[in-house]
Amino acid sequence: MDFSNITVLCVGDVMLDRFVYGEMERISPEAPVPVLLLKERREMPGGAGNVASNIISLGGQAILIGLVGEDEAAVILRDALRHRTGVSEMLVPSPKRPTICKTRFIASHQQVVRADEESREKLQPEEAELLCRAIDARLDEADVVILSDYGKGVCDSMVVRHLIGEARLKNIPVFVDPKTSDFRHYRGATCITPNAKELVAASGISGTDDASVERAARKVMAEAEADVILATRSEKGMMLVPAHGEAEAVPARAREVFDVSGAGDTVIATMALAFGSGMSFGQSMRVANAAAGVVVAKLGTATADLGEVTRELQAQNSSIDSPHLLTLNEARREVEEWQSQGLTVGFTNGCFDILHPGHISLLAAARAECDRLIVALNDDDSIRRLKGETRPVNTLASRAAVMAAVRYVDAVVAFTEDTPLEILVALMPDVLVKGSDYKPEDVVGAREVIDNGGRLFLADLQDGHSTTATIGRIQRHGA
């Protein structure tokens, strides 16, 4: 995939996303509410601005048009956009409203409260006129258009009609992330991407089964005279319903959802880029589904890059016969990405030949000590050297498939050496986990991890479980 030659015009409600991080230490003596000790503040473009951020993260170019106030938040927002190579902004200043700002207070990776600053007034005619002029000035540069409607005023009927009408005259596809329940507001759009709740509200058809979703999509698609509806369905994945042809659905890959903030922005940005690059709607949906899977595993209003999306596509396409076993380079990139988000990475290793309750207990204890867990498996030759020619019972491919299905495990790698020292040093996790049957001085890699600022954790083991004992019982019963 290469989106470097694709330019997307993003029009919609631009806002400033502010994240304030702290620690909750006590309850206020003034009221029964927690006291948050503030530690850090981060600010980034939100709303349509986050759509633009997703576009450049995926390698494309973005032109951002929206409305801001004449205030400090606008200055911070413009400054944040200036530092994003690949984004060109034409934000229209208005003295009649503040810049939309959402402040989220975070403690221990959990959002405690959100404070919003915004105007509830409708878009004024002079504001709409300035937005339409900005659209006319930049539309010819675009390969595809995104209308990002957050219901904050920018996407009023005058702006939407003008944008879609002019884009269709120039044969530029228009993708819409809707807010209003009347999809006729977006008449003529190429693709509309409602979530399940929005689709029910717009169609009046409830039900989460495929038939109900398709029926609802076809109803609103006809009303909006759109070409395609892409229904996003959280843990059920996505369904693409075209005006002509059969519906397609893709499931979401089971994974830990860390934060859904901005996932819809990622979906529409990826869909637009993929379709603009020449992919079909079905192919674009699969890429967007992978990108959504990446961002929901991150904290905050996040984006995905092409490397992450490619790896997620590989994981979604893997099967029991061809599990996704990360290479060392892929695993290193995953660790670096997780650690850049402030997540702690754990590491444990072993043969895991016949998975039993003792193994599961170890993996559960390991995952409790970190935010993400990597398991390194001895490859088949390594096990034969350690255990003898009759082992392993299960091949590396089979063991990796089973291990990847365990809910405590976030990534699986393999090593060919007798010890995992080389791969451990390359990944350098924050926590090294082994069973309590080891002495600290005997744990391979413990010194290296500790010297790097990490720690060693020895997990209690469940008695009475071992692969060797299981094999012995099987052999006795067979005899």
Q: What is the domain-level CATH number for residue 76?
A: 3.40.1190.20
Kindly state the greatest CA–CA separation across the chain: 89
Shared domain check, 384 and 288: no
Shared domain check, 194 and 123: yes
Binned at pLDDT 50, 70 and 90, residue 257 comes out as very low
Mean pLDDT estimate for the chain: 88
pLDDT tens for 90-134 read 999 999 999 999 999 988 778 889 999 999 899 999 999 999 999
322 within some domain: no
Q: For residue 386, what is the domain's CATH number? A: 3.40.50.620
Contact criterion met (CB below 8 Å) for 2 and 276? no
- Give me the number of domains the chain comprises: 2
Q: Residue ranges for the binding site?
A: 195-198
Q: Which of 106-115, 273-282, 460-469 has the lowest mean pLDDT?
A: 460-469
Where a domain ends, among 269, 298, 317? 317
Q: Which of 36-40, 45-49, 234-238, 380-384 has the lowest mean pLDDT?
A: 234-238
286 within some domain: yes
Shared domain check, 260 and 131: yes
pLDDT surpassing 90 at residue 146:
yes
pLDDT tens for 339-358 read 888 899 999 999 998 888 88
Where a domain ends, among 260, 285, 317? 317
Shared domain check, 440 and 375: yes
1 within some domain: no
The residues that are catalytic are 265
229 within some domain: yes
Shared domain check, 75 and 98: yes
Shared domain check, 309 and 332: no
2 within some domain: no
Shared domain check, 277 and 137: yes
Which is nearest to 450 in space by CA: 367, 334, 347? 347
Domain containing 78 equals 7-317
Q: What integer is the mean pLDDT of 202-220?
A: 92
Q: Residue ranges for the binding site for ATP?
A: 195-198
Q: Which of 137-141, 277-281, 284-288, 302-306 has the lowest mean pLDDT?
A: 302-306
pLDDT surpassing 60 at residue 256:
no
Shared domain check, 356 and 292: no
Binned at pLDDT 50, 70 and 90, residue 390 comes out as confident
Binned at pLDDT 50, 70 and 90, residue 236 comes out as confident
Shared domain check, 307 and 333: no
Shared domain check, 391 and 307: no
pTM for the structure as a whole = 0.67
173 within some domain: yes
Where a domain ends, among 317, 342, 372? 317
Shared domain check, 49 and 25: yes
421 within some domain: yes
Shared domain check, 350 and 313: no
First-to-last C-alpha distance (Å) of the chain = 56
Q: Which of 29-33, 138-142, 305-309, 363-367 has the lowest mean pLDDT?
A: 305-309
pLDDT of residue 34: 86
30 within some domain: yes
